[in-house]
Every structure is written in structure tokens, then in C-alpha cells.
Homo-oligomer: A and B are copies of this chain.
Amino acid sequence: MAHSHDMPTDLTRNQELVLGTLTASSGPLSAYDILDRLRTEGLRAPLQVYRALEKLVDRGLAHRLESLNAFVACADAHCHRKGLIAFAICEGCGKVDEFADAVIESRLGAWAHAEGFKVERTTMEIRGRCAQCLKAA
């Protein structure tokens, strides 16, 4: 297998370029970071990147990290939108770990049900230091 991120075949050129850039990166990238890396491919304007990102995020192929104003490729080729995802972001090396927790999801659901709140989207981001960076320090 070439790589674990088998890219969907129905992406447009811009979407493919943007997803490729995210996948190749070891950490989150801002839209402008992505743009800079794709100038050689002919991209010129922020909007070209933002539009591609919007589609990718909608499809669950990429995630937006709100606390960073940046984006990452989805770590799990199969996760596509099933349930709440939490992110652990290391301030040291910039690496992002993506995980799901059914208990947290159900607690949130319980709270929402009790309040009559209809959940549309949940953001959950942990900032701190990963094990590797702690060891190095």
C-alpha cells in the first residue's frame, strides 16, 4: 500500500492539493501556510484554499482546530464524521493527537437533553505537552 491515507478519487484538483498538503505535514497548517505551499501549483488566493478546506471539513477528511486557527488532515481514514472528536495539541512539537471518547459524548448528550439544547457541532481541544516533549525537557 502506498500510504494509509487513501485519498478519495472524487476530489477536485484544489481539494486534492489542499488535502495532500495537510497529509504531508507533520502538524497543523493555517490556510495561509497551505496557500504558500501551493503557489508553485498555481494557487494564488486565500479563497481557493478556504473553499477547498470547507469541503474537506464537511466530508470529515480534514478538521479545523479552533484554538489554533489551523487545519489538519483527519488522522483516521475511516473516521468520517462518526461522533465527537477530541484533539490533544502539543505546544512543544505541534503534533496533534485525535481521539474519541464515547463516555464524554454521552455526558454531553445527557446535558444537552436535559437542557433541551440541540447540538450541531462540538469542539474539544486540549493544549499541553506530549509525553515525548516532556521527556526531552
Contacts and interface: CB of A to CB of B under 8 A. Distances in A.
A126 interface: yes
A122 B97 CA distance: 14
Contacts of A99: 111
What number of copies of this chain does the assembly contain? 2
Contacts of A88: 111-112, 115, 117
Interface residues of A, number: 33
A99 B114 CA distance: 13
A126 B108 contact: yes
A24 interface: no
Contacts of A125: 66, 122-124
A103 interface: yes
